[in-house]
Amino acid sequence: MDLENMIMELLVHAGSARSHAMMALQQARRGDFAAAEQAMAQSRQAVSQAHGMQTELIGMDEGCGKIPVTLITVHAQDHLMNAMVIQDLAIDMIELYRRLPPAQVKPGAALQRHPL
């Protein structure tokens, strides 16, 4: 696989990881913790794939600057970092949602947040 495709694959997996973690938060907010856990598992898998690409790129670089640092490379790294941070926060937030009493939501009504 050429360098450009590797970087794009890193970007795609990182974006997928972020999206799944955000979806997990939405599911937890609705009280569907099984779906939240499933989305988090998908997020972890996507981060694992992105991290594998990152590790391969680092290995190709050998710490010698062999890989050019381009805007898209930095962008992909930013996406991976953001996905990992969102995962960490999502884990804690899902646990907090578990501890809240079930929301009393009417069909079609906006979700009411529990007052702190």
29/93 Cα distance (integer angstroms): 9
Distance CA(19)–CA(66), nearest Å, equals 31
Cα 30 to Cα 23, 26, 42, 75, 96, distances in angstroms: 11, 6, 19, 32, 13
Decide if 75 is catalytic.
yes
Instruction: Say if CB 86 and CB 18 are below 8 A apart.
Output: yes
| Annotated binding-site ranges for Mg(2+) | 78
8 A C-beta contact, residue 59 and residue 41: no
Q: Which of 13, 20, 75, 79 is catalytic?
A: 75
**Which phi and psi (to 5°) does residue 83 adopt?**
-60, -40
Which positions are catalytic? 75
